[in-house]
Amino acid sequence: MSLTVSLTRVPRRIGFISTRFHGTDGVTLEAAKWAHIFEAEGAACYWMAGQLDKPAAVSHLEPLAFFNHPEILDVQRRLFAVTTRSRALTDQVHAIKERLKSAIYAFIERFELELLIPQNILAIPMHIPLGLAMTEVIAETGIATVAHHHDFTWERERFTVTAGADYLAAAFPPTLPSLEHVVINSMQQKELARRYGQASSVIPNVIDFETPPPGIDDYTRDFRSEIGLAAEDILVLQPTRLVARKGIEHSIELLRRLKDPRCKLVFSHPPGDEGDAYFDLLRERIADAGIEAVMIWDRVGEARGVNDLGKKIYTLNDIYPHADLVTYPSHYEGFGNAFLEAIYFGRPVVVNAYAVYARDIDPLGFRCIEMSQLVTNEVVEQTRAILADAELREEWAVTNFRLGLKFFSYSVARRKLAGRLASLFGEG
């Protein structure tokens, strides 16, 4: 029986819009997966953002759409952590919104778009003028739109106090007849209904489980030696940005308690854009724990190549096959890309039971080492056991891959997207 499910009525020309499509952040990665699914059905996909790594022939760069544009940073700073705004700030927001509306109209007209897919810009208010602009364009044109929401206002404390409550009510998210809402977990679906009375569909983050994962090849065979690991070392991969909500102090504590000098904690991603305090804390914890941490983000990129020092660049897909263990002790995640990546590559995972994992993933039967905010004796012993037992690792890998194929494959996203397109365009 075929694993594929054809989409019912696929628009030929689809436009993705966000603040950026660049790098390996979750929104960029998931948008690319949706585009892959649509393109496999014969559609052409186009891209608009303030930061882009897409070919110029299929993209529309609008620097003002980037959330880190200086003008946007200034506006955002004056809209949050306060309760009133000046008339001048209101005028500035609307002036930026109008400029962005013109850019969106130009994007639609240039590529003759039939369907828009705003990526997160109608959910989390990182860029209020862009959300307002997007909302007004949809309202004015009635263009079919599937809004893909990854993070919402209520999920971030820094958006609690605001002078832009009217903007949030209007556009984060908006209610429009030609707009379908898609969220990435069931908790968001329930909260969106409770807070705004809006129906939505859950399409979880996915991976192409139908395609077997790449293994170690001639290019990646030297990865361990290139980052300074010996053959007998145990590579414990932390495949996330170094920000506080990732709970990386738990990974450090786990290695401290394992008391195995062969265990090396490898950081594949750099600190985020939330300041240096957490990274400084991690370095202190590493020193106190007496473990060895290897920071390799200068050797990790979106494509193979060399860095400025002539050293080889590896992709995340190159690194996972070398990992003996993956640590994923996040306090909060919208879904959990790194978890899916680990099971796709057959790696054992230590996972903190964050809320979305506990509600949407754990009940499906994945075999993992689970913790609940604490590195307990049981967690340490389970980790020792899985590292020592190759047969058990293989058993877990097979079970987890089959579950990933069943619940988080491209076929799942394709089937769920078919329902959204049917709502907008009809069944055929």
Please give the full DSSP string across 277-310, using - where no structure is assigned: HHHHHHHHHHHHHT-EEEE-GGGB-SS-EE-TTS
Would you give the distance in Å from CA 98 to the centre of its chain? 29
318 Cβ contact partners less than 8 Å away, ≥ 6 residues apart = 214, 219, 220, 223, 304
Same domain, 148 and 266: no
What pLDDT does 428 receive?
59
| Position 2 in a domain | no
Contact criterion met (CB below 8 Å) for 13 and 426:
no
Q: Supply 120's token pair.
A: 């997160």
Tokens for 14? 């689809």
In a domain, 366, yes or no: yes
Q: Are residues 46 and 154 in the same domain?
A: yes
On whether both 90 and 183 belong to a single domain, the answer is yes
Q: Give the integer Cα–Cα distance in Å for 249 and 282.
A: 6
Q: Record the pTM.
A: 0.90
214 part of a folded domain: no
* CA 308/CA 144 separation, integer angstroms: 44
pLDDT confidence of residue 4: 44
For tokens 């056991």, name the residue. Answer: 385
CA distance 231 to 243: 30
Q: Are residues 32 and 70 in the same domain?
A: yes
Q: Cα separation of 178 and 164, whole Å?
A: 25
Burial of 374 (0-12, 13-18, 19+ CB in 10 A): exposed
Whether 80 and 122 share a structural domain: yes
- Full domain range(s) for residue 18: 13-206+410-425
CA-CA distance, 268 to 336, in Å (whole number)? 16
At 399, the amino acid letter reads T
**CA distance readout (Å), 103 to 46, 55, 136, 413:** 14, 18, 13, 30
Domain count, the chain: 2
Residue 297 lies in a domain: yes
* Residue 181 and residue 298 share a domain: no
- Do both 18 and 153 map to the same domain? yes
Q: What is the pLDDT along the chain (428 residues), one digit of tens a residue?
A: 233 445 556 789 999 999 999 987 889 999 999 999 999 999 999 999 999 999 999 999 999 999 999 999 999 999 999 999 999 999 999 999 999 999 999 999 999 999 999 999 999 999 999 999 999 999 999 999 999 999 999 998 899 999 999 999 999 999 999 999 999 999 999 999 999 999 999 999 999 999 999 999 999 999 999 999 999 999 999 999 899 999 999 999 999 999 999 999 999 998 866 668 999 999 999 999 999 999 999 999 888 999 989 999 999 999 999 999 999 999 989 898 999 999 999 999 999 999 999 999 999 999 999 999 999 999 999 999 999 999 999 999 999 999 999 999 999 999 999 999 999 998 75
User: Could you tell me if 388 and 416 lie in one domain?
Assistant: no
- Asked whether residue 354 falls in the same domain as residue 268, the answer is yes
pLDDT in the model for residue 25? 81
Please check whether residues 17 and 57 belong to one and the same domain.
yes
Contact between 72 and 64 under an 8 Å Cβ cutoff? The reply is yes
4 located within any domain: no
Rounded CA-CA distance 327/369 in Å is 9
Asked if residue 150 is part of any domain, the answer here is yes
> Are 301 and 174 in the same domain?
no
Q: With b meaning 16 or more CB within 10 Å and e meaning fewer, what string describes 232-264? A: ebbbbbbbbbbbbbbbbbbbbbbbbbbeeeebb
Residue at 7 is within a domain:
no
Do the Cβ atoms of 319 and 223 come closer than 8 Å? yes
Rounded CA-CA distance 262/127 in Å is: 45
Q: What's 371's domain CATH number? A: 3.40.50.2000
pLDDT at 13: 96
Same-domain pairing of 382 and 418: no
In a domain, 212, yes or no: no
